[in-house]
């Protein structure tokens, strides 16, 4: 079994150029179905999200939701979802030594510690992205501001279908995508000095 599974063809080409041994220790899988991807995440000793900057890395959040041990740089937007060392490893972006140390620590975790961390990560994602929890946090924030709970929100247009009606199971005020979009907007504004 390979040490890792990697994604896109362009990534593979860049890594093969930098490390000629790449094909022997990493299995390249350009496109796989969802079940194959989930199986790989569940079987992995860890999932690495080494972004120097991104808005929100869904692969990292999905890996946490699947109960995987995640090592993420704080340049990855989803790294804020790692609330503590019991939920995963968060390292400074652009610090290869810290990244290497976290990878070694994640790799050395005994199976029971890996399972506990994976379960804590799964619970954390569940608490952050659960539609009812998102709706409750949003309603509480609106109440605290004295805002009415009914009315248009600019994100509603993104979350509604073309006919202006919410899609089934995706009522705008209860959709976890709303929170992810807000998080992404804050990251972009912060990155460009407008937040």
Residue in this structure with the two tokens 């690495």, named with its chain if needed: 48
Tokens of 168: 């089934």
**Residue-wise pLDDT tens digits, 79-88:** 999 999 999 9
89, β-bridge pairs:
71
Residue 134 confidence (pLDDT) above 90: no
CA 112 to chain CA centroid, Å, is 23
**Residue-wise pLDDT tens digits, 163-174:** 444 444 444 445
Query: DSSP letter at 95?
Result: -
Report which of 15, 108, 124, 112 is spatially closest to residue 63, judged by C-alpha positions. 124
Predicted local distance difference test score (pLDDT) of residue 156:
55
pTM above 0.75, yes or no: no
- The H or E element containing residue 121 is helix 111-129
**Residue-wise pLDDT tens digits, 52-66:** 888 888 889 999 999
Q: Can you state the angle between helices 58-65 and 111-129, rounded to 10 degrees? A: 120
Predicted local distance difference test score (pLDDT) of residue 171:
45
What band does 177 get if pLDDT is binned at 50, 70 and 90? low
- Whether the CB-CB separation of 72 and 83 falls below 8 Å is answered with no
User: Residue 45 half-sphere exposure, CB side, CA atoms within 13 Å?
Assistant: 14
List, in order of start, the domains of the chain with CATH numbers.
32-129 (3.40.50.2000), 131-191 (no CATH)
Which is more confidently placed, 116 or 49?
116
| Average predicted confidence (pLDDT) for the chain | 77
């Amino acid at each position: 079994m390979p040490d890792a599974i990697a994604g896109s063809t362009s990534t593979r080409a860049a890594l093969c150029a930098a490390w000629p041994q790449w094909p022997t220790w990493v299995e390249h899988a350009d496109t796989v179905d969802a079940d194959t991807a989930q199986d790989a995440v569940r079987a992995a000793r860890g999932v690495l999200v080494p972004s120097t900057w991104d808005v929100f890395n869904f692969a990292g959040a999905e890996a946490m939701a699947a109960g995987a041990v995640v090592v993420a740089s704080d340049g990855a937007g989803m790294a804020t979802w790692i609330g503590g060392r019991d939920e995963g490893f968060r390292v400074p972006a652009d610090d290869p030594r810290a990244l290497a140390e976290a990878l070694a620590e994640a790799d050395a975790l005994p199976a029971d510690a890996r399972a506990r961390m994976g379960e804590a990560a799964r619970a954390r994602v569940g608490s952050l992205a659960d539609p009812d929890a998102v709706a409750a946090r949003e309603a509480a924030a609106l109440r605290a501001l004295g805002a009415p709970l009914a009315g248009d929100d600019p994100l509603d247009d993104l979350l509604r279908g073309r006919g202006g009606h919410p899609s089934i199971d995706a009522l705008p005020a209860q959709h976890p995508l709303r929170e992810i979009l807000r998080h992404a907007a804050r990251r972009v504004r912060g990155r460009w000095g407008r937040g």
